[in-house]
Amino acid sequence: MLDSLALIWMLSLWLGYTLLASRLSKTHTCLASVLKLYRKQWLLRMLKRGTRIADANLLDQLRSSVGFFASTTILVVAGLVTGMAASDEGLSILSHLPVSAAITRELWEYRMLVLTAIFIYAFFEFSWSLRLYNYCAVLMGSAPLPEEVRKSEALGEAFAEKGARTISMAATHFNYGLRAYYFGLASLAWFINVWFYLILITGVVVILYQREFHSRALKTMAYSSTSDDFE
Protein backbone atom coordinates (compact mmCIF):
# COMPACT_ATOMS: atom_id res chain seq x y z
CA MET A 1 0.00 0.00 0.00
CA LEU A 2 2.78 2.43 0.92
CA ASP A 3 4.61 1.62 -2.31
CA SER A 4 1.51 2.41 -4.34
CA LEU A 5 1.16 5.75 -2.55
CA ALA A 6 4.84 6.48 -3.19
CA LEU A 7 4.35 5.80 -6.90
CA ILE A 8 1.27 8.04 -7.02
CA TRP A 9 3.18 10.80 -5.19
CA MET A 10 6.08 10.58 -7.62
CA LEU A 11 3.84 10.65 -10.71
CA SER A 12 1.78 13.51 -9.27
CA LEU A 13 4.88 15.60 -8.61
CA TRP A 14 6.36 14.78 -12.01
CA LEU A 15 3.21 15.53 -14.00
CA GLY A 16 2.27 18.48 -11.82
CA TYR A 17 5.65 20.13 -12.17
CA THR A 18 5.70 19.53 -15.94
CA LEU A 19 2.33 21.23 -16.34
CA LEU A 20 3.26 24.05 -13.95
CA ALA A 21 6.59 24.72 -15.67
CA SER A 22 4.92 24.71 -19.09
CA ARG A 23 2.33 27.25 -17.95
CA LEU A 24 4.76 29.48 -16.09
CA SER A 25 7.15 29.56 -19.06
CA LYS A 26 4.47 31.47 -21.01
CA THR A 27 4.15 34.24 -18.42
CA HIS A 28 7.44 34.23 -16.48
CA THR A 29 11.08 34.53 -17.43
CA CYS A 30 12.72 31.10 -17.31
CA LEU A 31 15.50 29.18 -19.03
CA ALA A 32 13.15 27.88 -21.73
CA SER A 33 11.77 31.31 -22.67
CA VAL A 34 15.18 33.01 -22.61
CA LEU A 35 16.82 30.31 -24.72
CA LYS A 36 14.04 30.57 -27.33
CA LEU A 37 14.93 34.25 -27.76
CA TYR A 38 18.61 33.35 -28.16
CA ARG A 39 17.75 30.68 -30.72
CA LYS A 40 15.78 33.18 -32.79
CA GLN A 41 18.64 35.67 -32.58
CA TRP A 42 21.04 32.92 -33.66
CA LEU A 43 18.98 32.12 -36.75
CA LEU A 44 18.55 35.80 -37.64
CA ARG A 45 22.32 36.21 -37.57
CA MET A 46 22.79 32.97 -39.52
CA LEU A 47 20.65 34.34 -42.34
CA LYS A 48 23.13 37.18 -42.81
CA ARG A 49 26.06 34.79 -43.26
CA GLY A 50 26.91 33.31 -46.61
CA THR A 51 28.88 30.44 -45.09
CA ARG A 52 26.93 28.53 -42.44
CA ILE A 53 29.35 25.78 -41.51
CA ALA A 54 29.64 27.06 -37.94
CA ASP A 55 25.85 26.97 -37.55
CA ALA A 56 25.72 23.40 -38.85
CA ASN A 57 28.43 22.42 -36.36
CA LEU A 58 26.45 23.99 -33.50
CA LEU A 59 23.35 22.02 -34.46
CA ASP A 60 25.45 18.86 -34.76
CA GLN A 61 26.74 19.40 -31.21
CA LEU A 62 23.17 19.60 -29.95
CA ARG A 63 22.24 16.39 -31.77
CA SER A 64 25.29 14.55 -30.48
CA SER A 65 24.35 15.36 -26.87
CA VAL A 66 20.87 13.92 -27.38
CA GLY A 67 22.29 10.90 -29.19
CA PHE A 68 24.63 10.19 -26.29
CA PHE A 69 21.78 10.12 -23.79
CA ALA A 70 19.59 8.03 -26.10
CA SER A 71 22.25 5.34 -26.51
CA THR A 72 23.12 5.45 -22.81
CA THR A 73 19.47 4.98 -21.86
CA ILE A 74 19.32 1.74 -23.86
CA LEU A 75 22.19 0.41 -21.74
CA VAL A 76 20.44 1.56 -18.56
CA VAL A 77 17.23 -0.24 -19.55
CA ALA A 78 19.21 -3.39 -20.39
CA GLY A 79 20.85 -3.23 -16.95
CA LEU A 80 17.51 -2.79 -15.21
CA VAL A 81 16.01 -5.77 -17.05
CA THR A 82 19.01 -7.83 -15.94
CA GLY A 83 18.57 -6.56 -12.38
CA MET A 84 14.92 -7.56 -12.43
CA ALA A 85 15.94 -11.11 -13.28
CA ALA A 86 18.64 -11.12 -10.58
CA SER A 87 16.29 -10.28 -7.72
CA ASP A 88 17.93 -12.73 -5.28
CA GLU A 89 21.33 -11.09 -5.67
CA GLY A 90 19.82 -7.62 -5.35
CA LEU A 91 17.94 -8.50 -2.18
CA SER A 92 21.11 -9.99 -0.73
CA ILE A 93 23.02 -6.74 -1.34
CA LEU A 94 20.24 -4.63 0.18
CA SER A 95 20.10 -6.80 3.28
CA HIS A 96 23.65 -5.76 4.16
CA LEU A 97 22.87 -2.03 4.09
CA PRO A 98 22.29 -0.71 7.64
CA VAL A 99 19.58 1.78 6.61
CA SER A 100 17.77 -0.51 4.18
CA ALA A 101 14.26 -1.68 5.02
CA ALA A 102 13.42 -5.33 4.40
CA ILE A 103 11.54 -5.89 1.13
CA THR A 104 10.10 -8.95 -0.56
CA ARG A 105 10.91 -10.34 -3.97
CA GLU A 106 7.59 -9.00 -5.28
CA LEU A 107 8.38 -5.48 -4.08
CA TRP A 108 11.83 -5.66 -5.65
CA GLU A 109 10.37 -6.63 -9.03
CA TYR A 110 7.62 -3.99 -8.71
CA ARG A 111 10.13 -1.22 -8.05
CA MET A 112 12.45 -2.41 -10.79
CA LEU A 113 9.53 -2.44 -13.21
CA VAL A 114 8.67 1.17 -12.32
CA LEU A 115 12.30 2.22 -12.72
CA THR A 116 12.50 0.46 -16.09
CA ALA A 117 9.35 2.23 -17.27
CA ILE A 118 10.85 5.61 -16.30
CA PHE A 119 13.96 5.05 -18.40
CA ILE A 120 11.97 3.63 -21.32
CA TYR A 121 9.99 6.88 -21.27
CA ALA A 122 13.29 8.79 -21.20
CA PHE A 123 14.48 6.88 -24.29
CA PHE A 124 11.34 7.80 -26.22
CA GLU A 125 11.80 11.46 -25.32
CA PHE A 126 15.46 11.44 -26.36
CA SER A 127 14.74 9.63 -29.62
CA TRP A 128 11.96 12.09 -30.51
CA SER A 129 14.22 15.00 -29.62
CA LEU A 130 16.89 13.55 -31.90
CA ARG A 131 14.40 13.30 -34.77
CA LEU A 132 13.33 16.89 -34.21
CA TYR A 133 16.95 18.02 -34.39
CA ASN A 134 17.23 16.12 -37.68
CA TYR A 135 14.22 18.06 -38.91
CA CYS A 136 15.97 21.23 -37.78
CA ALA A 137 18.94 20.30 -39.96
CA VAL A 138 16.64 20.03 -42.97
CA LEU A 139 15.02 23.33 -42.02
CA MET A 140 18.42 24.99 -41.73
CA GLY A 141 19.39 23.64 -45.14
CA SER A 142 16.35 25.36 -46.64
CA ALA A 143 17.18 28.72 -45.05
CA PRO A 144 16.84 31.77 -47.32
CA LEU A 145 20.04 33.16 -48.80
CA PRO A 146 21.39 36.53 -47.56
CA GLU A 147 20.30 38.33 -50.75
CA GLU A 148 16.77 36.93 -50.38
CA VAL A 149 16.61 38.16 -46.80
CA ARG A 150 17.78 41.62 -47.84
CA LYS A 151 14.90 41.79 -50.31
CA SER A 152 12.32 40.63 -47.76
CA GLU A 153 12.96 41.04 -44.04
CA ALA A 154 9.60 39.39 -43.36
CA LEU A 155 10.90 36.20 -44.99
CA GLY A 156 13.89 36.11 -42.66
CA GLU A 157 11.77 36.92 -39.61
CA ALA A 158 9.30 34.14 -40.43
CA PHE A 159 12.09 31.60 -40.95
CA ALA A 160 13.85 32.56 -37.71
CA GLU A 161 10.62 32.26 -35.72
CA LYS A 162 9.78 28.88 -37.26
CA GLY A 163 13.31 27.60 -36.76
CA ALA A 164 13.48 28.83 -33.16
CA ARG A 165 10.20 27.10 -32.36
CA THR A 166 11.35 23.82 -33.90
CA ILE A 167 14.68 23.85 -32.08
CA SER A 168 12.86 24.76 -28.86
CA MET A 169 10.55 21.76 -29.31
CA ALA A 170 13.58 19.50 -29.69
CA ALA A 171 15.15 21.05 -26.60
CA THR A 172 11.91 20.64 -24.64
CA HIS A 173 11.74 16.91 -25.30
CA PHE A 174 15.43 16.61 -24.46
CA ASN A 175 14.60 18.35 -21.19
CA TYR A 176 11.75 15.87 -20.59
CA GLY A 177 14.22 13.03 -21.01
CA LEU A 178 16.68 14.62 -18.58
CA ARG A 179 13.83 15.15 -16.11
CA ALA A 180 13.05 11.42 -16.34
CA TYR A 181 16.68 10.76 -15.46
CA TYR A 182 16.40 12.98 -12.38
CA PHE A 183 13.31 11.14 -11.15
CA GLY A 184 14.76 7.77 -12.13
CA LEU A 185 18.00 8.30 -10.24
CA ALA A 186 16.08 9.60 -7.22
CA SER A 187 13.95 6.44 -7.38
CA LEU A 188 17.02 4.37 -6.48
CA ALA A 189 16.39 5.55 -2.93
CA TRP A 190 13.12 3.60 -3.09
CA PHE A 191 15.10 0.38 -2.70
CA ILE A 192 16.58 1.64 0.56
CA ASN A 193 13.67 3.31 2.32
CA VAL A 194 10.25 4.47 1.10
CA TRP A 195 10.21 7.58 3.31
CA PHE A 196 13.69 8.59 2.17
CA TYR A 197 12.47 8.14 -1.40
CA LEU A 198 9.47 10.44 -0.84
CA ILE A 199 11.70 13.15 0.61
CA LEU A 200 14.21 12.83 -2.22
CA ILE A 201 11.54 13.00 -4.93
CA THR A 202 10.14 16.16 -3.39
CA GLY A 203 13.64 17.62 -3.27
CA VAL A 204 14.10 16.92 -6.99
CA VAL A 205 11.08 19.08 -7.83
CA VAL A 206 12.36 21.91 -5.64
CA ILE A 207 15.78 21.79 -7.33
CA LEU A 208 14.25 21.70 -10.81
CA TYR A 209 12.07 24.72 -10.08
CA GLN A 210 14.97 26.68 -8.62
CA ARG A 211 17.22 25.94 -11.59
CA GLU A 212 14.67 26.71 -14.28
CA PHE A 213 13.13 29.84 -12.75
CA HIS A 214 15.55 31.30 -10.20
CA SER A 215 19.05 30.07 -11.04
CA ARG A 216 22.13 32.22 -11.47
CA ALA A 217 22.42 30.88 -15.03
CA LEU A 218 18.99 32.34 -15.81
CA LYS A 219 19.92 35.71 -14.29
CA THR A 220 23.12 35.75 -16.34
CA MET A 221 21.45 34.99 -19.66
CA ALA A 222 18.52 37.34 -19.00
CA TYR A 223 20.84 40.16 -17.94
CA SER A 224 20.83 43.38 -19.93
CA SER A 225 22.47 46.77 -19.46
CA THR A 226 19.16 48.14 -18.19
CA SER A 227 18.66 45.38 -15.62
CA ASP A 228 19.38 45.99 -11.94
CA ASP A 229 18.88 42.47 -10.56
CA PHE A 230 22.14 40.94 -11.78
CA GLU A 231 24.55 39.75 -9.11
Q: For residues 119 and 83, what is the distance between their CA atoms, to the nearest angstrom?
A: 14
Alpha carbon of residue 50 to chain centroid: 33
Helix axes 194-213, 31-46, angle to 10 degrees: 40
pLDDT at 110: 87
pLDDT at 231: 42
Q: Are the C-beta atoms of residues 45 and 164 closer than 8 Å to each other?
A: no
Q: Are the C-beta atoms of residues 172 and 32 closer than 8 Å to each other?
A: yes
Q: How many residues does the chain have?
A: 231
> In a structure prediction context, what are the per-residue pLDDT tens digits for the chain, which is 231 residues long?
788 899 999 999 999 999 999 999 988 999 999 999 999 999 999 999 888 899 999 999 999 999 999 999 999 999 998 888 777 676 676 666 665 666 777 888 888 899 999 999 999 999 999 999 999 999 999 999 999 999 988 999 999 999 999 999 999 999 999 999 999 999 988 888 888 899 999 999 999 999 999 999 999 998 764 544 444
pLDDT at 230: 40
pLDDT at 50: 83
Percent of residues in the chain assigned helix, strand, coil, to nearest 5: 85, 0, 15
